[in-house]
């Protein structure tokens, strides 16, 4: 299966490498700094979820989990580990190639970035430097988390639905569980030092979506 996926991605114009254990995956990401990691969960030595967690600590590459574990709990666990997308077996290789293309289109021209730096209270968002800081302390965000922060901070006070956030950050053609937004917003809020139901930079508007607090 790895060989088949590699062949199709190569035909689509990507430079592709393969490794077959979890330890090799982490070592290769650290050494080669890929743009995208297509990750099976059923790996020997170190399972895919642990690989995803370790990769998240050293890289902001996009992670697409590819697995036979298709239950709702499995999908949410994978996303909680830091994955950007989740594809279950049996799968369409054409869909996989399309998903890889979709993540690599970020940041899109439609992503609102009119100014170089945004300041929202104690939070500074450096769009050019792709960095967020609270006061003078950098906040280590993945690409997806930073893109969500960019979209929300473009219109403070405006509520954006899950679908609107998916269209802006993932892709207008993206199909899947829209709760992927909730998982990444949860990661983002924790990194910004917010409590789940406490005040912070991002508010949940129940039944509608999310908004950046207008400060």
50 and 144 in a common domain = no
* 200, pLDDT greater than 90: no
Three-state SS for 205? strand
Residue 206 placed within a domain: yes
* 113, pLDDT greater than 50: no
Within 10 A of 164 (CB to CB), how many other CB atoms are there?
15
46 and 19 in a common domain = yes
* 107, pLDDT greater than 90: no
Q: How far apart, in whole angstroms, are the C-alpha atoms of residue 197 and residue 107? A: 29
155 and 190 in a common domain = yes
Residue 131 placed within a domain: yes
The confidence score (pLDDT) of residue 123 equals 92
If one counts the domains in the chain, the total is 2
The DSSP H or E segment spanning 39 is strand 36-40
Q: How far apart, in whole angstroms, are the C-alpha atoms of residue 174 and residue 185? A: 18
Three-state SS for 131? strand
126 and 41 in a common domain = no
97 and 134 in a common domain = no
The values of phi and psi at residue 36, to 5°, are -135, 140
122 and 94 in a common domain = no
The confidence score (pLDDT) of residue 36 equals 94
Residues 41-57 pLDDT 10s: 888 888 888 998 888 88
With tokens 């405006």, the residue in question is 158
The values of phi and psi at residue 65, to 5°, are -85, 135
Q: Comparing 115 with 156, which gets the higher pLDDT?
A: 156
pTM as predicted:
0.59
Residue 192 placed within a domain: yes
Residues 17-47 pLDDT 10s: 999 999 999 999 988 989 999 998 888 888 8
135 and 86 in a common domain = no
122 and 87 in a common domain = no
The confidence score (pLDDT) of residue 168 equals 85
The confidence score (pLDDT) of residue 115 equals 61
180 and 98 in a common domain = no
Residue 111 placed within a domain: no
81 and 123 in a common domain = no
CA gyration radius for the chain? 17
35 and 124 in a common domain = no
Q: Comparing 134 with 170, which gets the higher pLDDT?
A: 134
Residue 110 placed within a domain: no
CATH number, position 83? 3.40.50.2300
Do residues 169 and 151 make contact, with C-beta atoms less than 8 angstroms apart? yes
Range of the domain at 185: 117-212
The confidence score (pLDDT) of residue 196 equals 59
CATH number, position 195? 1.10.10.10
153 and 74 in a common domain = no
104, 127, 157 - which closes a domain: 104
The confidence score (pLDDT) of residue 209 equals 93
The confidence score (pLDDT) of residue 69 equals 67
Alpha helices in the chain (DSSP H): 2-11, 22-32, 48-58, 72-80, 93-104, 143-154, 162-169, 180-191
* 110, pLDDT greater than 60: no
Across the chain, what does the average pLDDT equal?
A: 84
């Amino acid at each position: 299966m790895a060989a088949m996926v590699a062949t199709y991605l190569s035909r689509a114009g990507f430079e592709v490498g393969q490794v077959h254990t979890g330890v090799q995956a982490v070592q290769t990401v650290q050494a080669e700094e890929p743009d995208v990691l297509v990750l099976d969960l059923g790996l020997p030595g170190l399972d895919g979820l642990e690989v995803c967690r370790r990769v998240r600590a050293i890289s902001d590459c996009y992670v697409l989990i590819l697995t036979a574990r298709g239950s709702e709990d499995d999908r949410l666990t994978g996303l909680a580990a830091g994955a950007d997308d989740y594809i279950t077996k049996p799968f369409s290789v054409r869909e996989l190639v399309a998903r890889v293309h979709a993540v690599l289109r970020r940041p899109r021209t439609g992503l609102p970035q009119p100014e170089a730096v945004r300041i929202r209270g104690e939070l500074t968002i450096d769009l050019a430097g792709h960095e967020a800081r609270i006061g003078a302390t950098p906040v280590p965000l993945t690409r997806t988390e930073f893109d969500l922060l960019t979209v929300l901070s473009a219109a403070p006070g405006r509520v954006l639905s899950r679908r609107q956030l998916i269209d802006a950050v993932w892709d207008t053609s993206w199909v899947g569980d829209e709760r992927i937004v909730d998982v990444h917003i949860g990661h983002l809020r924790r990194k910004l030092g917010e409590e789940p139901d406490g005040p912070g930079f991002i508010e949940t508007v129940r039944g509608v979506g999310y908004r950046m607090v207008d400060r």
